[in-house]
Structure 1
Amino acid sequence: MTIDVAAARRPDVKALSRVLGRAFFDDPVMMWMVPDDARRTSALPRIFAAMTRHHFLAGEAVEVAGRAGKVGAAALWDPPGRWKTTTREDLAMMPSFLLAMRGEAKRGMEVSELMKEHHPEEPHWYLAVIGSDPDVRGAGFGQALMASRLDRCDAEGAPAYLESTKESNVGYYLRFGFEVTGELTVPGGGPTMWQMWRAPR
């Protein structure tokens, strides 16, 4: 069956945030930010929903991949020049973040600040989040999402940037033309992230 890629709308937020929550359950950064498994299960969809609703949708670069009307994967992109959240967006997201993170909010802020500090300034498309539901992983949903946006990057002559939060995913992104440009390690025994940049083709 065909995998359909489409721009996400507000009614898609619940489904895509649930998919991303499942996709990132075993992610090293998310596990460090929310160590308790049970709490992480409920926290991650809330975090992704807040990010999507209050920041990413306005950039009109959120995409979902689905089959037979069911979302299997999602990607949260920022267009060139839009990767920084505004004060208004931060304030809108804060209640959901605090509720989700509870006593671990400081860890989330440490990760966010580290990423912002080392984010490239050259205009680019920023792939902030991409993930597939574990039930469909390996079935081509993520590949369909990557191809959809990277084709546009190439048509515009624009580079793309991401941080891989799993070392095992670095090879996956290399196949799409990304190259490792640096490593970010969260202080105090935190996880490592791999900065990756893709020149347009």
Structure 2
Amino acid sequence: MSAVSNTDDVVVRPARHADIPALSHALGRAFLDDPVMAWLLPDAHARRRKLHKLFGALTRHHHLAHGGVEVASVGATIGAAALWDPPGKWRHTTGEELRAAPSMVLTFGTAVRRGIRVTELMKREHPEEPHWYLAVIGSDPQVRGAGLGHALMRSRLDRCDAEFAPAYLESSNPENIGYYERFGFEVTGEIALPDGGPVMYPMWRHPR
């Protein structure tokens, strides 16, 4: 796990189990207007009530155990989080998927089948070369612009460069592509979601 880092007033540190409620609510608010989440859960009120369950389950049942989850804050409140997987650890085990399943159903209801199809498409496009995988990153809109997301990106990408390891993500919002490009990511293709859904953009970053 990385050491605590501080950029101006932003503190980045490894997440603990006790942080899951706060980080999951921050991510839920961050993804409220995300195109893919809006497609999966068209009702904005439902997204506002349920999205945090998705991020809590992903963190609790997969990402946290691999040591790649970091949170950022200004003061005592967690305002942003990044869910990274180290090389070779991006695939969810059958046990992890089963443990997360109840939360997936509570979040998406009948749309959970559509969510499974999205996951399968993402798996199909996922590169096999060892890399750090940024599964999720987001900042609570109330603190967006304060540099929390930038600090989270730099924290892990500095480690990628130190290890000479590439990094990979899928951008679920085309408006964020330019942001990721500033960190060295490049679009490598498109993942078109079924039933007229939005497009996701796989992005790859070579170490520097």
TM-score under structure 1 normalisation?
0.99
Structure 1 segments (4+ residues) deviating >6 Å? none
Q: How many Å separate the matches in 2 of 1:111 and 1:65?
A: 28
Q: Counterpart of 1:161?
A: 168
1:40-79 aligned at under 5 Å gives the runs 40-79=47-86
Kindly indicate whether residue 139 of structure 2 is the aligned counterpart of residue 132 of structure 1. Answer: yes
List runs of 5+ in structure 1 lacking aligned partners. none
Identity of aligned residues (%): 61
Q: Counterpart of 1:86?
A: 93
Q: Counterpart of 2:207?
A: 200
- Classify the secondary structure of the residue corresponding to 2:38: helix
Q: How many Å separate the matches in 2 of 1:98 and 1:136?
A: 30
- Classify the secondary structure of the residue corresponding to 1:136: coil
Kindly indicate whether residue 116 of structure 2 is the aligned counterpart of residue 116 of structure 1. Answer: no
List runs of 5+ in structure 2 lacking aligned partners. 1-7
**Counterpart residue type for residue 26 of structure 1:** D
Kindly indicate whether residue 20 of structure 2 is the aligned counterpart of residue 31 of structure 1. Answer: no
- Among 13, 16, 41, the residue aligned to 2:20: 13
User: What value does the CA root-mean-square deviation take over the aligned residues?
Assistant: 0.7
- Among 29, 40, 43, the residue aligned to 1:22: 29
The alpha-carbon deviation at position 58 of structure 1 amounts to 0.6
Kindly indicate whether residue 191 of structure 2 is the aligned counterpart of residue 150 of structure 1. Answer: no
- Classify the secondary structure of the residue corresponding to 1:162: strand
**Counterpart residue type for residue 81 of structure 1:** G
Q: Counterpart of 2:5?
A: none
Between the two proteins, the alignment pairs up a number of residues equal to 201
Cα distance per residue 1:51-79 (max 9 Å; x no partner): 00000001111000001111010000000
Q: How many Å separate the matches in 2 of 1:72 and 1:7?
A: 14
- Classify the secondary structure of the residue corresponding to 1:85: coil
**Counterpart residue type for residue 141 of structure 2:** P
